[in-house]
Structure 1
Amino acid sequence: MFKAGDYLVLLALCALLLAAFLQLGRHAGAASEVIVRQNGMETVRLPLRLNRLHVARGPLGLTEIEIHDGQARIRRDPSPRQYCVQQGWLRRSGDIAVCLPNRVSIELAGPRQAHDSLAY
C-alpha cells in the first residue's frame, strides 16, 4: 500500500500548499481610504482612520456607508436584494461592494492593491 516515502511526499505537499495559501492572503496591503462612486464616477474619498457614517444618493434612494476601526461597509441600501449590504465589512485594499440597482459602490484603496487575476 503506502510506504514511508509516500507519506513524506504527502506531508511536504501539504506544507507547500499551506505556505502558498498564507502567502496569497498576505498579498493585499492595508487600506487607507474608501472611494465612493455614484453612477461609475468617483464622488468622494474618505479616510479609514476616522469613524463616520456617509450617505450617498442613488436613483432608488440613500445608501449609508459606515466606516469603523479601519474598515468599511454598506450599512443600508434601498436595493431589493441587499447584496452589497450582505458583503459585510471590507478590510483590505482592493475590496469592493457594489449596489447595482442604486448605482453606488465603495472600494478600499491603499498603497498595495490585491489582484483578482493577472494577464500575460
Structure 2
Amino acid sequence: MDVSYIDSYSYPRLLGPQFPGSPGGFPGSPGGFPGSPGGFPGSPGGQQAPTSPPPAFIPQQQTATPFAVDPGAISLCLFRNTYIWLRNGASFWYFPIFVGPRSVAGFRWNGRFWTIFGIDTRRIVSFTCF
C-alpha cells in the first residue's frame, strides 16, 4: 500500500498487526492512543499531545538537502515544535514523538488542536524545529 500520509483514524489500525497483544496497535497500550498507558514506543511516560498551540509564526523554509529527510536528522526534533514542508507543497506545525526507519509519528496542528499524524519521511522536503 502506497501511503503518502496517514490520518489520525487510520494510523493505529495500520500498526495493529505489527504489535501482537496490543489491541490498539502500540506496545503496552490498551487504547492504542498516546496518553493511554504505554503511549507511543520510545516516548517517555506515554507522550500525550502538546498542551499549548505551536508558535504563531511560519518559519522561512531552509534550502532542502537529501540529509533533511534522514530519520537521524529529524530525530533531533523529537518532542519539539517542528515546521514541516512536504513535496506536494503542503506545510504545517508538527510535534514528532517517534521516528522509524522511513516514517515519523506525532501530532499535527490543524489550526485549532493537535491530531495524531504519521508521515513517510520521503514525502518531507525540509523541516525546522524549535
TM-score by length of 1: 0.28
Larger radius of gyration: 1
TM-score by length of 2: 0.27
Greater share of strand: 1
